[in-house]
């Protein structure tokens, strides 16, 4: 079992991930071309907040207020969001699916390395909830209407992945507890390589679903 501080760190990072996702999805909803699209992205934001609340509750039970557990991860997540601020509705849709999807895959992998209760909570709050269908529908319709945007969106998705990896590296360099959790959980470097391959594969599947080159 990983030491308690690693679990608190992990839940703190995930909690702030959810709270900042709420914040940015709520913001990005303002880019929607229709009230229906705005309501759908607002719904995703509200779901993220519900997830945040579940994790905050668990952190309280573990004896650490959520704001204390989240504090070390605020800078990295806000950097990610500042560097990937969508300037169009489609960019926000791709970010909500590709960026958040990749983060969820990463946390789902790490969920296997913690105690069963924490792992179950993590898998529960990482559930997709219809985001895939929504993103695929919006992007497909947009590409059908203007095929030339596919190239730009593919570049955008690559940028999301690049910034996500870069901020994850910052966090791991900064938090020994999480690096240890990851390395011990994966077993060895081969295990880590396999984990990264699985995440990359799932990312490629999402890009295919969107009709974008990865």
Tell me which stretch binds a copy of itself (CB under 8 A): 50-58, 118-126, 147-155, 172-180: 50-58
Cα 161 to Cα 7: distance, rounded to the nearest angstrom = 25
Cα 177 to Cα 3: distance, rounded to the nearest angstrom = 8
For Cα atoms 53, 55, 59, give the angle at the middle one, nearest 5 degrees: 115
Q: Given candidates 10, 11, 29, 157, which one binds a copy of itself under the rule CB under 8 A?
A: 29
Quick one: 19 or 164, whose CB is closer to a copy of itself?
A: 19
How many positions of this chain bind a copy of itself (CB under 8 A)?
27
Cα 12 to Cα 28: distance, rounded to the nearest angstrom = 24
Tell me which stretch binds a copy of itself (CB under 8 A): 42-50, 83-91, 186-194, 201-209: 42-50
- For the four alpha carbons of 179, 180, 181 and 185, in that order, the dihedral sign comes to positive
Q: One symbol per residue from 56 to 95: x for binding a copy of itself (CB under 8 A), - otherwise; what is it?
A: x--------xxx--xx--x---------------------
Helices vs strands, H then E, count in the chain: 11, 0
Which residue reads 């080159």 in tokens?
213
Q: Given candidates 46, 62, 146, 155, which one binds a copy of itself under the rule CB under 8 A?
A: 46
Query: Which chain residues interact with a copy of itself by CB under 8 A?
Result: 19, 22-23, 26-27, 29-30, 34-36, 38-39, 42-43, 45-46, 49-50, 52-53, 56, 65-67, 70-71, 74
């Amino acid at each position: 079992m990983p030491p308690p501080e690693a679990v608190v760190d992990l839940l703190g990072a995930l909690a702030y991930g959810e709270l900042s996702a709420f914040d940015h999805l709520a913001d990005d909803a303002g880019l929607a071309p229709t009230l229906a699209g705005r309501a759908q992205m607002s719904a995703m934001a509200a779901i993220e907040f519900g997830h945040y609340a579940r994790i905050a509750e668990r952190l309280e039970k573990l004896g650490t207020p959520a704001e204390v557990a989240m504090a070390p991860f605020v800078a990295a997540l806000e950097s990610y969001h500042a560097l990937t601020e969508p300037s169009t509705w489609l960019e926000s849709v791709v970010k909500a699916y590709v960026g958040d999807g990749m983060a969820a895959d990463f946390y789902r992998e790490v969920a296997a390395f913690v105690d069963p209760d924490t792992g179950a909570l993590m898998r529960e709050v990482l559930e997709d909830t219809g985001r895939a269908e929504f993103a695929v529908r919006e992007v497909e319709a947009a590409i059908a209407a203007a095929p030339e945007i596919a190239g730009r969106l593919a570049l955008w998705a690559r940028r999301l992945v690049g910034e996500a990896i870069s901020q994850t590296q910052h966090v791991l360099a900064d938090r020994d507890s999480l690096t240890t959790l990851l390395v011990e959980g994966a077993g060895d470097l081969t295990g880590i390589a396999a984990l990264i391959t699985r995440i990359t594969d799932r990312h490629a599947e999402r890009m295919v679903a969107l009709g974008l080159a990865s």
